[in-house]
Chain A
Amino acid sequence: MLKIIVPIKQVPETGNVKMDPETGTMVRDGVVSIVNPLDLYSIETALMLKEKYGATVTVLTMGPLNAVKGLKEAIAMGCDDGYILSDRAFAGADTWSTAYALVNAIKRIGDYDLILAGERATDGDTGQVGPNIASGLDIPLATYVRKVNDLDLEHKTITVERSVEEGIETLQLPLPCLLTVVKEISYPRLPTLRGKKKAKTVEIPVLTAEDLGLNREFLGLKGSPTRVVSTKSPKVTRNGQMVTIKDDQDVIEAVDALIAFLEERQLI
């Protein structure tokens, strides 16, 4: 049977973010975390394939132990099992170091046909870890996938549509491969009662750096090629010109003022 792995990430709920002034990384303690909204689409894609072709879907995450909550949400939606990579040594990992750990975790989990990842996480917003994993595993990659056209189990290939700025590519990849999917691909389902029951009892194995035999030099903040030097909060407020419309005459005056403004800025 087809085996699908879906790596997911817990992200802070927007508008609720604090930074550590020492390290410049995010303070995750005490922040409400949710499953990265864009990962719901990779989970949904996996579940659609499971329904159509039959598959087992394994969710995988890296983070503090409370990130198990996200794995259980995915299992409540219909995924079969989950693994968490959790170790103090992972703290502060950048995309390279995160991918290094995930690549080794996936190798440990073993056989798989397909890895489905979200386009990017809404906190770091890099979109790098998916391509990093494909590169690290040396499996074919298609990013920005908007549609799975066909999965040919006999020939072990998958045909997908990939969005680029100029249009849509149709690509054929051999299995195993990694796809990063965009929101357009599906609409995520809700957890089911049966799934929730399963999520309650399911055992989630914890994988540590030692379990995976990882090189400590490559882990966490210390093992990350990139360093955050400084952070600042950009000023967003602009003191714009405001016009209020109360009656029909105001409409004409407001549009007059807007046209004068656009002319002044040489925008028309």
Chain B
Amino acid sequence: MSEKNTKVWTIAEAANGKLKSVSYELLARGRSLADACSEQLVSVLIGANVSKAELTTLIQHGADLVISVQDPALEAFIVETYSNVLIDLVQQMKPNIILAAATNNGRTLMPHVAMRLHTGLTADCTDLQIDLTTGDLLQTRPAIGGNILATIKTPNHRPQMATVRPRSTQPLPADPSRTGHILQISLKPELVDKRVKLLSFEAETADESNLQDSDVIVSGGRGMKKADNFQLLHDLASLLGGKVGASRDAVDRGWARYPQQVGLSGKTVLPKLYIALGISGAIQHLAGMKTAETIVAVNTDPNAAIFQVVDFGIVGDAFQVLPELISRLEERKS
């Protein structure tokens, strides 16, 4: 490994001028890798309308250098343009490691870039370590529906690229005394790809938005019996400051929408608290939620597979437990 190629980069994400929390989570991951090999940690922001004060928070959360490429032409995430910009930066500065968030945009940009740089990319990592003798990044990720944890490396290609699940790590506390530099780079016009146009954007206000960003998820399955009964889940979720998820069964029956689906063909979630109501726990569902910090389930079937992964299980009827639990939590609030 050449001496020069040893910078650790993380890709920041912003919306409406505000950095997303995953930008800081990535810095916490990157900081431990950069410290392990005594290297500089760089946060790269491609976008628009992010103030210098906002960029400074990246330094407070662990970055030594912030590279900012901002331009009105970068306001919309157009993968072709973002990919051109990132590749251009990589070719100039030769980072050793690039980490991005496993968000819809991160999971679009990174494979686009990795293909052209002819290098390895590992999706959705839950653990990252460095092999100090080779400089190889050891990237651990769940595969095959979470049945297997694979550790993957990219021995002969650089940079080593990985996406990291949002909320799989805590940001470092902000340290206003940390110092670093902000490098503003202007957008080269030839990097703008005008083929794709963003015509409009509609913010999701519905309950299911950002399921993966929620600390608490209350999910319902076939045992909820009908769509109307999901109101109980919404009531419980709002008392706990959480969101409502669903099993595939419930989504297929039209009781919940696809963005709410947790599991192999839906979303993988890592909340602090996951409450499963009337969900039997098919392996496909477990794959999407079994790494939650705390799991609670209510199911009438004592042999339901969900009980194998719970921290607290109630064998009983969700329609008895839910109203009681909701009224007790309401009492506590008042």
Confirm or deny: B83 has a beta carbon within 8 angstroms of a beta carbon on chain A. yes
Partner of A96, one of B77, B118, B156, B329: B118
A255→B143 contact, CB < 8 A: no
How many A-B contacts are there with CB distance less than 8 Å? 269
Question: B251-296: which residues lie under 8 A (CB-CB) from chain A?
Answer: 257-259, 261, 264-266, 272-273, 283-284, 286, 290, 294-296
User: Which residue among A38, A96, A250 has the maximum number of chain B CB atoms within 10 Å of its CB?
Assistant: A96
Cα distance A43–B322 when bound, in Å? 41
B321→A255 contact, CB < 8 A: yes
A170→B199 contact, CB < 8 A: yes
**Interface residues of A, dominant DSSP:** mixed
Confirm or deny: A46 has a beta carbon within 8 angstroms of a beta carbon on chain B. no
Partner of A183, one of B107, B153, B265: B265
Confirm or deny: B198 has a beta carbon within 8 angstroms of a beta carbon on chain A. yes
Once A123-B144, A255-B328 are accepted as A-B contacts, the answer to whether A240 and B311 lie under 8 Å apart by CB is yes
A 40-82 to B, binary, CB cutoff 8 A, 1 in contact else 0: 0000000000000000000000000000000000000000000
A 247-260 to B, binary, CB cutoff 8 A, 1 in contact else 0: 01011101101110
Cα distance A251–B124 when bound, in Å? 40
Partner of A267, one of B146, B272, B324: B272
Nearest CB of A to B286, in Å: 7
A-B contact pairs, 6 of them (CB 8 A): A14-B145, A125-B145, A159-B199, A183-B265, A231-B149, A267-B294
| Chain B residues within 8 Å of A, Cβ to Cβ | 15, 76-77, 79-80, 83, 103-105, 107-108, 110-116, 118-124, 138, 142-157, 193, 195-204, 209-210, 212-213, 216, 240, 257-259, 261, 264-266, 272-273, 283-284, 286, 290, 294-296, 302, 307-317, 320-321, 324-325, 328-329, 332
Known contacts A131-B115, A171-B198, A183-B258; can you find 10 more A-B pairs with CB under 8 A?
A: A14-B283, A122-B145, A134-B112, A146-B258, A172-B197, A225-B157, A236-B286, A238-B308, A238-B311, A245-B316
